[in-house]
Each structure stands twice: as C-alpha cells, then as structure tokens.
Chain A
Amino acid sequence: MSDDRPPRTNSETSVETAEERAASWRLVFENSLGGLRAFLRKRLPQDSDIDDCLQVVFVKLIEKGDSVAAPALKSWLFRVAANESARIWRSKAAAEKMYQKHGGTEVPTVDPTDAAIQAETTKHLKQALKQLPDAWQQVVHLRLYENLTFQQIADRLDVPLGTALTRMRRALERLRNNLK
C-alpha cells in the first residue's frame, strides 16, 4: 500500500489539483477499505454508522495523509477508524445525540492542550524506546524507518521470520505498557 500513496506536493506536482489528489488518496483508501470495514463491523452496530465512520476516515486521510510515514499509513487509518467509532459511540450515548445527528459527523474541535500532551507523549515514547533491548530496537528501526519487510529484516539479522515478528510485537507491547 505504501507504494500506492500519492506523491507529496512539491514544485513538480504543485499543479496537481485537489481533485487529483483526492483521487490518488482514494486509491490508497480503497486498498484498506475491506479491512477497515471488517474492523468496524465489530465496533459499530449499524452499517450507516460504519459508512459515516469510513467517510470521516477518508476525509482525514486527504487532510493529513501527507504527514503520516508510509509504513505506518495503514495503522494510522485503523487508529482514525477506532477513534471515530469511539466518538460515534459517545455521541450516541450523550444527550446531544440528536444535535450531532443533525449536524453530521463533524470532527471535534482541537483541544489547545493536545499539542502539549502530544509532545509529552513523544518524549516518553522516545525514552521508552531507548530502554528496549537492542535487538528489539533494531527491528523497529528497520521496519518503520528503513521500511524493510519482515523477511528482509530476518535475512539481514540472520534470524527466523517469526523471531523478527515477535521482537517487533513485543517492542510495541512494551512501549504501549510504558505509556499507560
């Protein structure tokens, strides 16, 4: 999927229209659409909610897709979908349910403290990352920052594929637990 992402705007592609960029991102989105729908099926009871959620995910992809690293794009889409599905649940449960329904699926306004929280989270994440075993850090680096496949990583480190996968997964688990 990472190869399908639209080219970033630069001097050569600045003439690209918004419609063309939307079309390019749509291709990226459609590659993940089956998985996103399957993912949301267990989270949202109604198909209309799933469609609404997917619509928001697509809008955010167009708005912010350029800022997401290619290897993490699919994960980012699932995160947006998960957050949006949670928001839909909250809006359904809240008293303002009717207002939200009539107002459409507008994205909530950005909290001014979000940037500070994000900066703090990033700081803690970096610290947690450095505390991981070197072997785990290597796999994280090679996969997310050098964009090697797991098989390529396994070949480079001369370990079985399952070992490379497990190192990456345990690194993610450890990081997630450290940030709780």
Chain B
Amino acid sequence: MNKIISSDGEIHLDIALTDDLKNRCLQYLLDDLDSEQVELFEKALSESASLGDELNRQAEAISMLSEIHSGEGIPTPVQTDSGQQTVTLRKIAYIALAVCFAGMMVRGWWQTPGSVAQSEVAQPGIVPPLVADNVTDLQPVAVPEFTLIARAWADNQLREDTGFQQSETLPDTIGDYFEETGSEVNDISSEPAFSWMFIAASEIQELGTDDG
C-alpha cells in the first residue's frame, strides 16, 4: 500500500501500482480476464484512485489506437517478413532482368555483321560453323540472320547442283578470300547486305571439300 496525500492534506492509503497490476488493467479493458478476476479487479478499482487513473490512461491510448483504420501502417509478424521477402525478390528479379538485358546487348553486338567480320579477319582461317546436310543440326542458338540466310542459300545450291565440284577459284576460307581480293573488314561491315554471300561461298567451299 502507498500513502497518498490529497490536496486537502488528508493521507489516503492506496495500493501500489505494480507492473503486474498495470498488466491486469490492460487485461480488464480488453476482456482478457475471467469472471472471478474481473470481480477482484473491480473491487480494487473501487478502492484505488491510482488504479482508476492507470485504467483511464490505458483506456485513452486503446481508444485512440482503435480509431486508426484497422491495421493501416502497422506491420504484422507475417506481413513484416513477407514484405521484406517481397522486396528482396523484387530486387533479385530486377538484377536478373538487367543482367539478361545486358547479356543480350553484348551478344547482339558481337554477332553483328561487322563484328563477325572483325573476328574472322582477326583470326584468318577460322570460319563460321559449317552447314551439313541437315542444316538445322548444326545451327547455333544465336546465329545472325544473314548467316542463316547464307546457309540456307548454300544448302539449296548444293542440293540443286549435285555435280558441284570445288572450284579452284574459290578461296579456302573467308580470310583467304579477303587476302586475295584485298577487301577490308570495314568494307564488309559497311555493307552487311552482301556479307552473307561471302559466308555462303565459303560454306559451299567447305561442304564441297567435305564431300570430296
């Protein structure tokens, strides 16, 4: 019991407000007590002004909180975790998309006609993948369009011209062809519309070599 001195100077005895009693206030306001506990609490409430004050303070705070729209802006245990997971997954998705996009850009750049010619010229003798009897068997996944056209054209030519023989006038490789004709890389890259013909020619030659 605590001694309380009122404004008129009288001394009153009041119960000590322990944490347990404050918690009991909370349970009472939120109907978390059984009937026996409620009876005991209300008896204490009728005898203690400080307990009434504590009850009033808690009631005020609970009432204010209840006026906020239900749950708005308040994280729940599950929502907090899932929210963080969602943010993390979203970040990962964005990064993956960015990497894919960058990869596609780089790959596309390397496979432009000019860059193909560059790589071929830089390493003479290295030719694009060859066309076999079944064209689709040897198709890389990301072959430039002009190469595909060239291969198709070459394949058709081979199928139509069954008496195809290797011409001595044809260069062994594109590199050789460039050397013989003195063409510059920039010439090919500047005219991608014709570059497929050179590749086709080299593939015809290669196929003819394999056959023959």
A87 at the interface (CB under 8 A from B): no
Chain A residues bordering chain B, tally (CB within 8 A): 52
Could you give, for residues 64-86 of chain B, a 1 whenever the CB lies within 8 Å of some chain A CB and a 0 otherwise? 11111011111111001000000
A24 contacts the other chain (CB 8 A): no
The stretch of A7-15, A104-112, A163-171 that contacts the partner chain? A163-171
**B45 near A39: Cβ-Cβ < 8 Å:** yes
- Let me know if B121 is at the binding interface, CB within 8 A: no
| Residue A150 CB within 8 A of the other chain | yes
Give the contacting residue for A130; candidates B31, B61, B62, B73; CB below 8 A. Answer: B73
Of B49-57, B133-141, B180-188, B195-203, the segment with at least 4 beta carbons within 8 Å of chain A is B49-57
Residues in B lying within 8 Å of A, measured CB to CB: 19-20, 22-23, 26-32, 38-39, 41-43, 45-49, 52, 55-68, 70-77, 80
A38 CB contact (under 8 Å) in B43, B56, B66: B43
User: Which of A37, A157, A162, A172 has a CB less than 8 Å from the CB of B61?
Assistant: A172
With a cutoff of 8 Å between Cβ atoms, the chain B residues found around residue A34 in the complex are: 38-39, 42
Q: Which of B46, B48, B68, B80 contacts A126 (CB 8 A)?
A: B68
Alpha-carbon separation in the docked complex, A122 to B60 (Å): 13
CB distance from A180 to the nearest CB of B (A): 11
> Is A43 touching B52 in the complex (CB atoms < 8 A)?
yes
Least Cβ–Cβ distance between B103 and chain A, in angstroms? 39
- On chain B, the residues within 8 Å of A121 by CB distance are 64
Main secondary structure of the interface of B (DSSP, over half): helix
A1 to B46, CA, bound (A): 21
Rounded to whole Å, the gap between the CB of A54 and the closest CB of chain B is 14
Check: A56 CB closer than 8 A to any chain B CB.
Answer: no
A75 touches B74 (CB 8 A): no
Contact B63 A141 (CB under 8 A): no
Residues from chain B with a CB closer than 8 A to the CB of A97 are: none
Given contacts A75-B62, A122-B68, A129-B68, contact A150 B42 (CB under 8 A): no
Q: Which residues of B contact A91 (CB under 8 A)?
A: none
A179 to chain B: closest CB distance in Å?
7
- From the candidates B20, B47, B52, B64, name the one contacting A179 in the complex (CB within 8 A): B64
Most buried by B among A1, A118, A141: A141
Query: How long is the Cα–Cα vector from A37 to B58 in the complex, in angstroms?
Result: 18
Q: Is the CB of A175 within 8 A of B61?
A: yes
The contact of B70 among A43, A69, A78, A130, by CB within 8 Å, is A69
The residues of A that contact B77 with a CB separation of less than 8 Å are: 138, 142, 156-157
B74–A42 contact, CB under 8 A?
no
Closest A-chain residue to B80, C-beta based? A134
For residue A6, CB closer than 8 A to chain B, the reply is no
Q: Is the CB of B74 within 8 A of A141?
A: yes
In the assembled complex, the CB of A121 is this many whole angstroms from the nearest CB of chain B, namely 7
Shortest A67–chain B CB gap in Å is 9
Give the complex CA separation of A113 and B86 in angstroms.
42
How far, in Å, is B124 (CB) from chain A's closest CB?
Answer: 67
